[in-house]
Amino acid sequence: MKTLRMLAVEDDPILLAELKKLYRETLVRHGFESVTIEEAESAEEARTLAKAARANPYDLVSLDVNLGDQHMTGLDVLNTLGRFQSAWMVALLTGVETDGTVDSTMGPVTGNALRKRLRPDAYSRFPAERLLVVEKPLSAMDNLARTKLLADRVEQIALVYAEVSRLRYIFRPIDVTSLERVKVARGVKAKKKFIETTSRHWQIRFNCGDIRTLPDKAGFATLHRLLSLDRGESLTPEAALVAEPKNEKVAKTPGTEDNPVDPVAAYFVNQGIRWSELDQVQQERLPCASSATLNFGPIRTTKIYLPKRRTNSTASLTNSGHLPVPPRPLTRG
């Protein structure tokens, strides 16, 4: 069921009731089965509702510019809506650009400045792609023409909302191309200093927040797959994160670079002796084969930098990180 929750801000009670009726009829005609409309008749009341709606933002806000206040206008309410991210789309109804009623409320100087800076100020306080500035019918028009024009304005707002509402929840992959510096050995001149690299990123937005572009980490691919499943009921992002499988560590294979094998222990294990079960004294008492029989494997030389007071700066280490054990002669009887 398509639902919509909106806020109508208008200081004229008669116009407010007319707007609520037009919005309800138009939105129901566009497929919204449940339409909840809250109202505010002053800028202060609208700002209070906007702050309270931070956790549960409005789908649509119909906002008048001239609210009959000497100090605050609808732009102040718009600033609060944008700062608290408490509305997805705002329809700014204005008549100050063509009507001089704002001069009687705020004075001719303020009214003239408001007319000149209305649209730039509005788009600087709220995301432009979710803000629609609509001119209200003039108060001098007759009631029939005024009602018809107002209905056309509400119809325009409903059509724009139907398109903009599709971008409220975004979770899509994109390929980002960037320049990466070419790494070469010292003294070697690279043919190109930079090369183009493409990496997978994700554009993410939930509810009324801004679009965030994040690298492909934290299992976004798995989360996207879970959200795309054909389910009887929708899967929320929180449930998808819980259902996402944890990354299991891959078991290291003995003998690899990350997990080297001790050649001495491997030799005695091959002889049937449980090397790991012996303590250090028992290991030292074991008879050792000659160097030809005991194969330590390839010896890797690693440089170790010692304190300055010692002159020997290198030592040969085995793959296990220990000094080679010198073979001891076999003892008889």
- Which tens digit of pLDDT belongs to each residue from 274-325? 777 777 667 666 665 433 344 444 444 444 444 444 444 444 444 444 444 4
Phi, psi of 317 (to 5 degrees): -115, 150
Which segments of the chain are extended strands (E)?
3-9, 34-40, 58-64, 87-94, 131-135, 170-181, 194-205, 212-215, 300-303, 314-317
- Separation CA 137–CA 94 (nearest Å): 9
Indicate the pairing of strand 58-64 with strand 3-9: parallel
pLDDT of residue 264: 64
Per the model's pLDDT, the better-predicted residue between 293 and 41 turns out to be: 41
Q: Is pLDDT of 45 > 80?
A: yes
Q: Is pLDDT of 260 > 70?
A: no
CATH architecture assigned to 3-167: 3-Layer(aba) Sandwich (3.40)
The answer to whether residues 209 and 85 touch, using CB atoms and an 8 Å cutoff, is yes
300 - beta bridge partners?
317
Per the model's pLDDT, the better-predicted residue between 263 and 207 turns out to be: 207
The answer to whether residues 135 and 99 touch, using CB atoms and an 8 Å cutoff, is no
Per the model's pLDDT, the better-predicted residue between 23 and 113 turns out to be: 23
The answer to whether residues 209 and 168 touch, using CB atoms and an 8 Å cutoff, is no
- Which tens digit of pLDDT belongs to each residue from 197-235? 888 888 888 788 788 888 887 677 777 777 676 656 556
Helices (H) and strands (E) in the chain, counts: 10, 10
Per the model's pLDDT, the better-predicted residue between 110 and 182 turns out to be: 182
pLDDT of residue 262: 64
- Write down the domain spans for the chain: 3-167, 170-243, 250-333
Min mean pLDDT across 15-24, 65-74, 148-157 is at 65-74
Token pair 């930098």 in the structure block, residue: 305
Percent share of the chain, pLDDT over 90: 30
pLDDT of residue 69: 82
- Separation CA 88–CA 161 (nearest Å): 9
Q: What six digits make up the tokens of 261?
A: 């094998």
pTM of the model: 0.61
Token pair 């639902």 in the structure block, residue: 3
pLDDT of residue 261: 54
Min mean pLDDT across 41-55, 62-76, 107-121 is at 107-121
Highest mean predicted confidence (pLDDT) among 2-11, 131-140, 213-222? 2-11
Q: Is pLDDT of 54 > 80?
A: yes
pLDDT of residue 36: 95
